[in-house]
């Protein structure tokens, strides 16, 4: 039997009010559906606006920040204003520092470099600060984590000086070398303007420059340039002015001595010309009494000018004899 087919006439409203009601219901359903879609889209917009606000805040926090990247140390040249002496890259402390970087896989704090104009086949970057981190990575064979920024000479010197003073301070001589090069290149017209730009005491800056101007022979007389104290600058400068040949001769003699003297002793020798050693005063007459065994002298008992005794024996004593002597002497001391 053929299946019955729905009669389309039966689905239609039979009256005009019914048709109007059906049409209104359909319209209401469409409006509700559209309203739900609009609500969902509005919620999505609110969520996107919230995320966009978060991203904007994050971007504001990075205003002025520079990205860091890994650079081959062979592509970085040392600056002519570098203020780290080669001896700063030696010794146990530097070896420990290298070990920390090697275990971490890179330097945890980036160094700063600037691009070199027209580098040709040479390095493309010049070191601004981070000489110890750079050298450690170079010796280990790791690329160095670095920030690249375009700086002029003056900005380079100021950033190098401030960054290094915030870490392991370079020595006065090392700082003085940077200051001296900056003056020689005319980056600063005077000590005063340089001190103001770097935020350092002008007197200390002048002393550091005085140390940097010392002849190489004088510097070589010290254990390391880092061992020269800032407080010695005035006396060393005065000695060079009054007796330059004598200071240089003493520095040469110190550098050839087999036993290295502490920096303080080297300073004293350099600024003080050798004086005539006075004749030794005669020792006070001592009262001496010979100690004999069987008529043979085996020692002596002496008293100095104020009565202090000393005993000296040239014979070997057994353990029991040593104990007996100690007992006798201690008994005498106890009776005083």
Burial of 179 (0-12, 13-18, 19+ CB in 10 A): buried
* 28 assigned to some structural domain: yes
Query: Which of 104, 136, 151 finishes a domain?
Result: 151
Tell me which residue range forms the domain holding 85: 66-151
Q: What is the pTM of this model?
A: 0.50
Provide the pLDDT confidence category of residue 218 given band limits of 50, 70 and 90. Answer: very high
Choose between 272 and 89: higher pLDDT: 272
| pLDDT at residue 285 is higher than 50 | yes
Question: End of a domain among 151, 172, 201?
Answer: 151
Q: Are residues 70 and 51 in the same domain?
A: no
Q: Are residues 74 and 47 in the same domain?
A: no
User: Residue 288: enclosing H or E segment and its boundaries?
Assistant: strand 287-293
Residue 70 lies in a domain: yes
Specify if 320 maps to a domain. Answer: yes
Same domain, 135 and 84: yes
Query: What token pair was written down for 226?
Result: 């880092």
* pLDDT mean across residues, the chain: 81
Domain tally, the chain: 4
In a domain, 127, yes or no: yes
Domain assignment present for 309: yes
Q: Over pLDDT 70: what percentage of the chain?
A: 80
Across the range 81-110, mean pLDDT stands at: 82
Gap between the Cα atoms of 311 and 301, Å rounded? 5
pLDDT band at 310 (very low <50, low <70, confident <90, very high): confident
Which of the given ranges, 3-7, 269-273, 298-302, has the highest pLDDT on average? 269-273
136 located within any domain: yes
In a domain, 51, yes or no: yes
Residue 249 sits in the same domain as residue 306: no
Please name the residues in contact with 71: beta carbons below 8 A apart, sequence gap of 6 or more: 113, 125, 143, 144, 146, 148
pLDDT at residue 10 greater than cutoff 60: no
Residue where a domain terminates, one of 121, 151, 181: 151
What is the share, in percent, of the chain residues with pLDDT greater than 90? 30
pLDDT of residue 331: 81
pLDDT confidence of residue 17? 65
107 belongs to a structural domain? yes
Given this model, what pLDDT does residue 280 score? 47
- 93 and 132 share a domain? yes
**pLDDT: is 296 or 4 the higher one?**
296
Name residue 144's beta-bridge partners.
71
Same domain, 75 and 129: yes
Q: What is the pLDDT of residue 166?
A: 59
**Starting from the edge strand earliest in sequence, which strands make up the sheet with 296-303, in order?**
287-293, 296-303, 309-313
Q: pLDDT by residue (tens digit) across 110-163?
A: 989 999 888 888 899 999 888 889 999 999 999 999 999 888 888 888 888 877
The confidence score (pLDDT) of residue 62 equals 47
């Amino acid at each position: 039997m053929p299946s019955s087919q729905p009669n389309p006439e039966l689905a239609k409203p039979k009256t005009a009010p019914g048709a109007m009601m059906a049409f209104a219901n359909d319209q209401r359903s469409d409006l509700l559906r559209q309203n739900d879609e609009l609500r969902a889209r509005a919620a999505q917009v609110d969520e996107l606006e919230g995320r966009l606000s978060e991203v904007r805040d994050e971007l504001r926090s990075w205003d002025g920040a520079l990205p860091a990247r890994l650079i081959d140390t062979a592509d970085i040249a040392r600056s002519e204003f570098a203020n780290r002496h080669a001896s700063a890259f030696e010794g146990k402390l530097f070896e420990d520092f290298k070990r920390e970087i090697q275990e971490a896989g890179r330097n945890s704090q980036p160094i700063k470099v600037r691009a070199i104009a027209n580098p040709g086949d040479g390095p493309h970057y010049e070191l601004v600060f981070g000489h110890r981190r750079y050298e450690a990575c170079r010796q280990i064979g790791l690329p160095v984590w670095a920030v690249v920024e375009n700086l002029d000479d003056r900005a380079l010197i100021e950033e190098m000086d401030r960054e290094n003073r915030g870490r392991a301070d370079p020595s006065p001589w090392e700082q003085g070398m940077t200051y001296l090069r900056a003056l020689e290149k005319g980056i600063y017209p005077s000590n005063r303007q340089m001190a103001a730009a770097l935020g350092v005491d002008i007197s200390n800056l002048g002393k550091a420059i005085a140390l940097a101007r010392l002849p190489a022979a004088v510097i070589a007389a010290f254990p390391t340039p880092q061992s020269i104290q800032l407080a010695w600058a005035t006396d060393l400068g005065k000695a060079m002015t009054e007796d330059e040949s004598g200071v240089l001769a003493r520095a040469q003699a110190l550098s050839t001595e087999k036993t290295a003297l502490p920096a303080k002793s080297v300073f004293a020798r350099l600024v003080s010309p050798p004086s005539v050693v006075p004749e030794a005063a005669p020792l006070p007459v001592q009262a001496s009494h010979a100690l004999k065994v069987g008529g043979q002298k085996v020692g002596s008992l002496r008293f100095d000018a104020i009565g202090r005794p000393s005993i000296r024996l040239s014979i070997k004593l057994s353990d029991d004899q040593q104990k007996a002597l100690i007992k006798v002497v201690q008994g005498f001391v106890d009776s005083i």
